[in-house]
Amino acid sequence: MSHMRTEVTAAHRRLAHAEIAKLSDGQVREIATRRQAPDELAFIQACQIEDKESGRLVPFALWPAQAEILPRLACRRLFILKARQLGLSWLDLAHWLYETTFWGNRLILVARQTLADSYDAIQRLKVLHASLPEEWQAEVVIDKATALGFANGSRFRALTATKRMGRGTAAYGALLDEYCFWDWQAEQLAAMEAGCARLHIVSTGNGAGDHAHKIWRQAEAGEGEWQTLFLPWSAHPGRTQSWYEVAVLGSVEPRLARREYAATPEDAFAAPEGVFFERFSSERNTADVEIVANWRTVRCVDFGYHSPACAWLQTSPAGQPFVVAELVPHELTTAEFAQAILARERAWGLVSAPHATYGDPAGRAVNVQTAEAEVAVFGRYGLHFVGKASSVRDGCVRLMDLLADPQLPLVVSRACPWTLEALSCVRPDRHRPDLYDEDSPYTHILDALRYWVVNRSKGTPWTPPKPCPGISAGLYGRIF
């Protein structure tokens, strides 16, 4: 029996050596520095956090919404957009503490807006660490205002959101706290992405059109490696609809309060300052709208190689206008733009082709680079152009009137995020507050809408043609 036990032990040892031989040096060192790790949820709920109401330490008892998102923190690139005061910064810090307590040689960067914020992040980590059961506490060997390090080689370093932050650093993970409020978002994120294997953005919104919003929009469209997660104000179990009506809708500045305590990502990305189209209302001017095959359809376009724009509008038999689709490509020639427009329309099964293409009459001028007018190029593809001269202010006033129309207001489909952002977020021009900011990324889609509103024919109510066989939408479409 002793001889057999020796042979089995030797076989296990040979097998173990064979498995270790397959590992890299880094993997071997990690195994050597790893302690027995408990379940992450149990670890976090053993922590204590500061309670702002009582000023005391309280157990970190996760709310259902917090517990649900805990597995998502394993993502390599995660953008958490949230309403205020949902405990997400505490949760992410606790996650990284778990990742460094039981695994060694991991550098975690915590990047916040100011030096005081950075100090606060390290202090929060110390609070979390000190509240753990002794058997789960890693031995502290670095204890500074901006750094915390453990005997296993893992450590935290706090960073301030400067323009050159994170350069020259190779880190296992990082928390970018309130990233939407950083001043040099594109440069800062590029540096952090190059140096960090795992990145978490945890932030409230700060208006549309910046780099943070671009990342969110691309991720929502399934582009790139970022994943998104949104937590509304109602994720807090102590907040009810009655609380929202008093604290948010009944506040001195309800528009700003709705951004801070967002119910949707659109609320979170609302402009922090005054917007140009003040009469735009998400309740009145947005809806889930289907394209109706037998409604009158028109296009409106704004030319431009870098960022052309096209919006499609349909008019109900009652005369109400709806923006039902949009196309905002980048770096297309006029011919490629026309082809992209026609490709979109082929999928809709319209009873009749769009009646007109509204645009800037300047498009009739010959392009010095192509020696051909944009209108002529569109004409070759059967896109009939209509355009008359008008002032920017005239178009803006008419758009505002349509948005505020008490009977038949302009409604934008939620499938048109660029148009919705333009109407809800664009700011007034600094020098001409009676016009919208023409340096905004939304200029092209707004210009296209202006060309439609100044050229559209009001006329008399019309009778739509009969729908094609198989078209399920009725005369009034499906509006939810």
In a domain, 115, yes or no: yes
Contact between residue 296 and residue 315 where contact means Cβ atoms under 8 Å apart: yes
pLDDT digits (tens, 9 = 90+) for 251-298: 877 777 888 899 988 888 876 655 788 788 888 899 999 899 999 999
pLDDT for 304: 79
Phi, psi (degrees; rounded to nearest 5) at 465: -70, 165
132 and 237 together in one domain: yes
Q: Tell me the residue range of the domain where 339 lies.
A: 285-455
248 and 135 together in one domain: yes
Final residue of a structural domain among 268, 294, 315: 268
336 and 293 together in one domain: yes
Final residue of a structural domain among 204, 239, 268: 268
228 and 305 together in one domain: no
The count of structural domains within the chain is 2
79 and 227 together in one domain: yes
pLDDT for 6: 37
Residue among 206, 255, 185, 209 nearest 420 (CA): 209
Residue type, 248: V
pLDDT digits (tens, 9 = 90+) for 140-170: 999 999 999 999 999 999 999 887 787 778 8
In a domain, 178, yes or no: yes
Question: What's the rounded Cα separation, in Å, for the pair 107 and 150?
Answer: 11
Question: What's the rounded Cα separation, in Å, for the pair 9 and 3?
Answer: 10
Question: What's the rounded Cα separation, in Å, for the pair 383 and 357?
Answer: 6
Ranges under pLDDT 70 in the chain = 1-35, 271-274, 363, 366-371, 457-480
Contact between residue 47 and residue 125 where contact means Cβ atoms under 8 Å apart: no
pLDDT for 118: 86
In a domain, 467, yes or no: no
CATH number for position 321: 3.30.420.280
In a domain, 279, yes or no: no
pLDDT for 472: 33
Question: What's the rounded Cα separation, in Å, for the pair 377 and 333?
Answer: 10
pLDDT for 427: 83
pLDDT digits (tens, 9 = 90+) for 321-337: 999 999 999 888 889 99
67 and 164 together in one domain: yes
193 and 292 together in one domain: no
pLDDT for 366: 64
Contact between residue 357 and residue 377 where contact means Cβ atoms under 8 Å apart: no
Q: How far apart are the first and last CA of the chain?
A: 77
Burial class (CB in 10 A: 0-12, 13-18, 19+), 267: buried
CATH number for position 122: 3.40.50.300
CB atoms within 10 A of CB 389: 9
In a domain, 402, yes or no: yes
In a domain, 4, yes or no: no
pLDDT for 22: 53
In a domain, 17, yes or no: no
In a domain, 195, yes or no: yes
pLDDT for 328: 92
Copy the structure tokens of residue 101. 């307590």
